[in-house]
Structure 1
Amino acid sequence: MQDGAGQEKAGTVFIVDDDERVVHSLQRLLKLSGYAVTPFADARSLLGCAELPAAECVVLDLGLPDTDGLCVQETLLAMDTGPSIVFLTGRADVPSSVRAMKAGAVDFLLKPVEEEALLMAIEAGVQRTRGEREADRQKASVQTRLQSLTAREEEVLQHVVAGRLNKQIAGDLGTVEKTIKVHRARMMAKMGVRTVADLVRLVEYGR
């Protein structure tokens, strides 16, 4: 992500904590590290934010004034490729930390936190989110390409993926080999691949 001057940002981080001193300290640290930071004092403000889908990592307090941080985690997990979560709390609660980590939190850190540990956790969270979102974009691209195929091209694709030759496909579909070659060439072009191996990998990825 870039700021208004075009400068590359390290990532987009949301902070959810009702302690103003903690928020101020985190904002300063993260901004100095190149992150775009948005603070929230409670869960309602976070979940009602129109920019939430753009967040790549959420630094989340466990004990919020309006709800439990674990409940917020559940809501974020229900999003399509929601942001990664780093818990930062003053409560040394082992059951909560175990539950948070099992649900996919990047880390569960205690206040006061070491700056290096926090920055490492946030960086891991940002990279995880970016990887997941890129994978989703690629999968959607494959599915769009599959949907662009005609019914006959789809039939040919299934036969090609199964390892059948043009002559065999022609026999199965009741047509001539020349026609199959045409459909096959169009199908491969639409899928953006040149080899059967690439086609097989692409189809498997798009499922």
Structure 2
Amino acid sequence: MATEPVVHVIDDDDSAREALAFLVECAGMQVRSYPSARYFLESIATMNHGCIVTDVRMPEMSGVDLVGRLKELGVKDPVIVITGHADVPMAIQAMKAGVADFLEKPFSDHAILDAIRAALARQAGEEEADAEREGVKARIATLSQRETEVMNGLVEGHPNKVIANDLGISARTVEVYRANVMTKMKAASLSELVRMATIARLAG
């Protein structure tokens, strides 16, 4: 069972942080709050992943600096930054750095909750895609060199006879390797095998 995502709220303003954390909790989501970016960074090793909501202007480390640090650490959780009117250029800088969204104060409860839900939905989709890519790559790793060669021929659309000629083996032997490939890759059809091979190539 997958761990339920957590919304991490970071704001040095106690009242704003507590109000947002309460709102998120009332919306049925798990939440943790932090008084500074540095305090949050100290908790990364043990945190449950989900979505990060941070104020832009904070002492010691700004929201933009936090986004840069998270990228260095390889943290892929989506980040939503909250900004005052004067901080919009800073928020735009954060968007260029890869944050999921930014909201200008004052924002409605619906606006922040919608942004959080959208970020969590995208994160879930990306994690599912990552898991599928890793699964395909792991199955490809179980193929022998000859099975890999036959799979490549199939993916390129070549019939068994052409593959046999290219590899210097009989068409019957190609059929055996083809059956092995389909079994090891857990592919129910040739089109599914092509899709898997494409996923693996995109994953590098």
* Matches for 1:96-175 after TM superposition, within 5 Å: 96-175=90-169
SS of the residue aligned with 1:92?
Answer: helix
Distance 1:79 1:137, change over 3 A: farther
SS of the residue aligned with 2:6?
Answer: strand
Query: Once the 2 structures are TM-superposed, how far is the Cα of residue 27 of structure 1 from its aligned partner?
Result: 1.4
1:40 aligns with 2:39: no
- Counterpart in the other structure of 1:51: 46
Give the aligned residue type for 2:28: G
Distance between the aligned counterparts of 1:80 and 1:164, measured in 2? 40
CA-atom RMSD in angstroms = 1.9
Is the CA contact 2:88–2:104 (under 8 Å) kept in the aligned structure 1? no
| Identity %, equivalent residues | 37
- Counterpart in the other structure of 2:22: 28
- Pick aligned residue for 1:198 from 182, 192, 200: 192
Query: Once the 2 structures are TM-superposed, how far is the Cα of residue 24 of structure 1 from its aligned partner?
Result: 1.1
Give the aligned residue type for 1:134: E
Distance between the aligned counterparts of 2:159 and 2:2, measured in 1? 49
Is the CA contact 1:81–1:129 (under 8 Å) kept in the aligned structure 2? no
TM-score, normalised to structure 1, is: 0.88
Is the CA contact 2:52–2:80 (under 8 Å) kept in the aligned structure 1? yes
Distance between the aligned counterparts of 1:130 and 1:81, measured in 2? 14
More helix by share: 2
TM-score, normalised to structure 2, is: 0.90
Distance between the aligned counterparts of 1:153 and 1:35, measured in 2? 47
SS of the residue aligned with 1:93?
Answer: helix
Q: Extract unaligned runs of 5+ from structure 1.
A: 4-8
Instruction: Render the CA deviation track for 1:5-63: whole Å, top value 9, x for unaligned.
Output: xxxx6x410011111111110111111101111111111221221234x3211111111
Q: Extract unaligned runs of 5+ from structure 2.
A: none
Give the aligned residue type for 1:170: A
- Pick aligned residue for 2:13 from 2, 15, 19: 19
Distance between the aligned counterparts of 2:192 and 2:73, measured in 1? 31
Distance 1:83 1:200, change over 3 A: same
